[in-house]
Structures are given as structure tokens and as C-alpha cells.
């Protein structure tokens, strides 16, 4: 089983987005050295908690700062963009960092309705829900198989990074995304941190999978909230920060990641236990041994080849330490002693 990282570039209370982005570069270097398989950055807009609205901007600096780890988007929220523009941007990245770039594609807005509208170029009316058509067009640019009579037919040959291409993934947390990923023959990354009841949907993906592209067998990754510390008490204490932030998010009150001391007081006042599933969502929090067992159970539940670790803490050093402890308990091979891992 492979271990990877999804970094949402969290902003700690009292800190800045600039510091959060520098923390992302620092954590990517650490993940590369520790032997994690890939490092993805997310797309979120218009809030005080997360500093990553532009994966395509972050991927280049991360790939430059690292040696061998795969780097990509988790994901690009395609409804905001022209498929051609995404294809151009990611072939540039693939040309500069061959065999290392992933293009994780998502359908969600990654923000609230007003910010979604602000992101539109044409604001005369809401954008159409035409994700399947957008996705088909994007893949067709990479594969140069638009119909002969399509007005954009010749643009595939103009992609600036050719012949290098990114590896496309479909991201999702619903049955529809599982169906699309299977029928299109794409690797599929399921967001368990959004929908913890996703194991049957991963089964739908496997049932619907068609080897119509380079991927000849289904490939499932699952992304989950995970935090590791030397003791269970410390891990639960550190996790309180993200639990408070997510509780406030569900109440439509967006905040920066609070210090754990304040978060614990808030959770106690609200009657929310430190342990357990906040809002019904799965969290894997505890000692290295406890987290290892939880990750193994998660991977078995989804029949996943790969687990993508999402960790949010107030203190950046605590987040670094969590990934270090995970690497140790899973016996990841440090990159200084390992060859580059293929996609």
C-alpha cells in the first residue's frame, strides 16, 4: 500500500496565507525525503482557513523544491475553467517535471455559491452544469481524439508541453463520480474525509471500470483525515483544532485553524467529545500503532491501493511530526536511499 499527502495549506489563527504556503513547500520537502508516494495540493476559494486556491500555481514550486515525489492537484475544480487552459497548464508542468505530474480533477466548487459566481468570467447567469462534457474535452486534448469535425480539433497538437502529459485522476465523493471514473477508465481518488460511507461507491467504480485508456486495471486511492502523535492524548488534543474549524464550517462560520487550547474549550462547551467522529465523519487519530491499524482498516474497506493523508494542525511542527511518525510506523524508505517511485 502506498502512502501519499493531500495538503490543503491550512492557515493558523494569527498567521498568514503567505506562511501557510511556505509551510506547504516545507512539508513537501519533508514528504519527499520520508518516502511518501505523491504530494497533492487542493483548491479552495474565499475562506480564511485554507490558502490554496490555485493548484496549478503551487505544483511547479513544489516540484522544483523536491526530487522524486509525484506532485499534482487534489484537485483542479474543472467547472471554474476552460478545459483547454487546464490542458495547456498541466502539459507545461509535465514537460518541466517529466513523469511526476498528476492532474486530479474534481467537480465541486471548493467554495460558497457567491465566490463561485465571482470566479466566473461571464456573470450574466450561472454557469451550466456540464462537467461530463468538460471532462471529455479535457481528456480529448491529451489523447488528440476530438472528432474530425470538432471546431477545436487542431488544438490538441498545440499543447505546449508535448510530448509530456500529466497523469489524470478523477476525484469524488459520490456514486456519480465513481461511475464516471470507471466508465472512462481513470484512476479514482475517493474523499473519505467528505463522505465516510464511500466503500460501496468504490465498489461501483470497480464494477464499472473499463480499460479504455492506458490504465488497464482499476486503481483506487482513498483520502482521509489522519493525525498521529506520540500519545493518544496528544493526538486528540492536536486534532481539536481541525474539529473546531470544521464544526464552525458546518455552521457557515469560516475561521482560521484555532490553537488547540481554545479548540478544546470550545468543544467541551458544545458537548462535542474530543474522540469519535465529528459531524459523523471518520478521523484516524492516535499513536503510530493506532493510526497504522486505522489506515489498514480504511484501505481494506475500500480495497484501496493507496491512502492519501490529510492532516490539519494549528502548529506546523506538529503536522510535520505526524507525517514523520507515519513514515516510521509504515517503514517508508527514505528517498536518500531509494530510487524515484514510478506513477
> CA 26, CA 126: separation in Å to the nearest integer?
38
Question: Using an 8 Å Cβ cutoff, are 254 and 48 in contact?
Answer: yes
Determine the Cα–Cα distance for residues 242 and 246; give it in Å rounded to an integer: 6
Residue 201: name the closest of 210, 193, 192 by CA.
192
CA distance between the termini of the chain: 13
Q: What is the pLDDT of residue 69?
A: 98
What radius of gyration do the chain's Cα atoms show?
Answer: 20
Task: Give the whole-angstrom CA distance, residue 42 versus residue 312.
Answer: 13
Q: Are 73 and 56 in contact (CB under 8 A)?
A: yes
| Contact assessment for residue 131 and residue 107, using Cβ atoms and an 8 Å cutoff | yes
Question: In the chain, which stretches have pLDDT less than 50?
Answer: 337-342
Each as own residue / partner, the long-range contacts of residues 289-293 (CB below 8 Å, 24 or more positions apart, any chain) are 289/329, 290/232, 291/226, 291/227, 291/228, 291/235, 291/325, 291/326, 291/329, 292/326, 292/329, 292/330
Residues 26-77: tens digit of each pLDDT: 999 999 999 999 999 999 999 999 999 999 999 999 999 999 999 999 999 9
d(CA 98, CA 296): 31
The pLDDT value given to residue 307: 98
Q: What is the pLDDT of residue 339?
A: 43
Which pLDDT does position 343 carry in this prediction? 53
For position 342, what pLDDT does the model report?
45
Per-residue burial over 255-281, b if 16 or more Cβ lie within 10 Å, else e, is ebbbebeebbebbeeeebebeeebeeb
The reported pLDDT for the residue numbered 278 is: 61
Q: What DSSP character marks residue 152? A: T
Q: What is the DSSP letter of 10?
A: B
Burial class of residue 102, CB neighbours in 10 A (0-12, 13-18, 19+): buried
CB 235 within 8 A of CB 287: yes
Cβ-contact 190, 207 below 8 angstroms: no
C-alpha angle 298-303-307 in degrees, rounded to nearest 5: 50
CB 210 within 8 A of CB 193: no
Q: How far is CA 284 from CA 208, 298, 304, in A?
A: 29, 9, 16
Contact assessment for residue 49 and residue 10, using Cβ atoms and an 8 Å cutoff = yes
Q: Domains of the chain, with CATH numbers?
A: 2-231+283-337 (3.20.20.30)
Q: Global pTM?
A: 0.94
Amino acid at each position: 500500500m502506498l502512502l501519499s499527502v493531500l495538503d490543503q495549506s491550512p492557515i493558523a489563527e494569527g498567521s498568514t496565507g503567505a506562511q501557510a504556503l511556505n509551510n506547504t513547500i516545507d512539508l513537501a520537502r519533508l514528504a519527499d525525503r520520508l518516502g511518501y508516494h505523491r504530494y497533492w495540493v487542493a483548491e479552495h476559494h474565499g475562506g480564511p482557513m485554507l490558502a490554496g486556491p490555485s493548484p496549478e500555481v503551487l505544483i511547479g514550486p513544489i516540484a522544483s523544491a523536491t526530487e522524486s515525489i509525484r506532485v499534482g492537484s487534489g484537485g483542479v475544480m474543472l467547472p471554474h475553467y476552460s478545459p483547454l487552459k487546464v490542458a495547456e497548464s498541466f502539459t507545461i508542468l509535465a514537460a518541466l517535471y517529466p513523469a511526476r505530474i498528476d492532474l486530479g480533477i474534481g467537480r465541486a466548487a471548493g467554495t460558497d455559491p457567491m465566490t463561485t459566481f465571482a470566479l466566473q468570467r461571464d456573470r450574466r447567469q450561472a454557469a451550466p452544469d456540464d462537467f461530463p462534457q468538460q471532462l471529455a474535452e479535457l481528456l480529448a486534448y491529451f489523447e488528440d481524439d476530438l472528432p474530425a469535425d470538432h471546431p477545436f480539433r487542431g488544438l490538441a497538437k498545440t499543447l505546449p508541453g508535448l510530448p509530456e502529459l500529466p497523469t489524470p485522476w478523477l476525484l469524488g465523493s459520490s456514486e456519480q463520480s465513481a461511475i464516471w471514473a470507471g466508465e472512462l477508465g481513470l484512476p479514482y481518488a475517493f474523499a473519505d474525509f467528505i463522505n465516510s460511507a464511500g466503500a460501496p461507491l468504490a465498489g461501483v467504480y470497480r464494477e464499472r471500470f473499463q480499460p479504455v485508456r492506458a490504465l488497464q486495471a482499476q486503481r483506487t486511492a482513498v483520502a482521509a483525515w489522519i493525525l498521529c502523535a506520540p500519545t493518544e492524548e496528544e493526538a486528540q488534543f492536536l486534532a481539536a483544532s481541525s474539529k473546531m474549524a470544521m464544526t464552525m464550517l458546518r455552521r457557515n462560520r469560516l475561521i482560521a485553524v484555532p490553537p488547540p487550547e481554545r479548540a478544546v474549550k470550545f468543544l467541551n462547551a458544545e458537548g462535542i467529545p474530543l474522540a469519535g467522529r465529528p459531524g459523523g465523519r471518520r478521523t484516524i487519530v492516535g499513536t503510530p500503532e493506532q493510526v497504522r491499524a486505522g489506515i489498514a482498516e480504511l484501505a481494506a474497506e475500500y480495497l484501496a491501493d493507496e491512502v492519501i493523508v490529510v492532516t490539519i494542525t494549528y502548529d506546523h511542527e506538529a503536522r510535520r511530526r505526524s507525517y514523520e511518525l507515519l513514515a516510521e510506523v509504515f517503514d517508508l524508505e527514505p528517498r536518500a536511499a531509494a530510487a524515484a517511485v514510478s506513477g
